[in-house]
Amino acid sequence: MTRWVAGVEYHGTRFSGWQVQAGRPSVQGALEDALSSVAAHRVETICAGRTDAGVHAFGQVVHFDSDAARIPYAWLLGTNSRLPPEVSLRWVQPVESPDGAEFSARFSAVSRRYRYVIHNHRARSALLAERATWFAHTLDADAMHRAAQVLVGEHDFSAFRAAECQSTTPMRNLQSIRVWRSGSFVVLDIRANAFLHHMVRNITGTLLEVGTARKPETWVAELLAERDRTRSGMTAAAQGLYFVGPDYPAAFGLPTPQDPWFPA
Three-class DSSP labels, 98-130: HHHCCCCCCCCCCEEEEEEEEEECCCCCCCCCC
104: Cβ–Cβ under 8 A, 6 or more apart, which residues? 46, 63
Q: What angle do CA 234, 239, 241 make, to 5 degrees?
A: 75
52 catalytic, yes or no? yes
Annotated catalytic residue, options 52, 67, 99, 156: 52
Cα separation, 224 vs 148, in Å, equals 11
Cα separation, 188 vs 28, in Å, equals 26
Q: Which sequence positions are flagged as catalytic? A: 52
